[in-house]
Amino acid sequence: MPDVFCNNCGHRNPGNSNFCSSCGSPLDVRGEDHTITLGPVEESADPSEDISVGLDDIPEGGGVLLVKRGPGAGSRYVLEHDVTTAGRHPQSAIFLDDVTVSRRHAEVVRTADGYVLRDVGSLNGTYLNRERIEREMPLSNGDEVQVGRFKLVFLTASS
């Protein structure tokens, strides 16, 4: 029998459970299809996942998001506009084609002080350095952004 995930805390429970062994919430075990909420991707000790980018690839005062993990690992997205959208919608500036990503998932906004990461009502949430953000958080050089199963690294070249 397949495992059942708690809709309240995301804990994995044996398939025959009626209540979550972690938080005590009732489990929905009526059908085979379940929606799960994904937490941060676990850290890997695999050095082959290291992705490098030259400083010349980052525009002065601009930013870049690099896909570190997920389909299209190694892809680069230059943050050229004041608002850069990320999601599963084909018109997103950063198109992340996976069911764990909402159509309109997150935005990276350029402000006078730098860049801000904003969740725009996604189902699975947006994570910054393994912490789920509620509304928006400022981005710093080297920050890790997680959108669904995609793990991206934010890089900037300061003036």
Q: What digits encode the pLDDT tens for the residues 26-47?
A: 887 655 554 555 566 555 544 4
> 128: pLDDT confidence band, cut at 50, 70 and 90?
very high
Residue 48: the pLDDT is 43
Compute the C-alpha angle 134/138/141, nearest 5°. 130
DSSP secondary structure, 36-54, as one string = ----PPPP---GGG-----
Q: Are 69 and 145 in contact (CB under 8 A)?
A: no
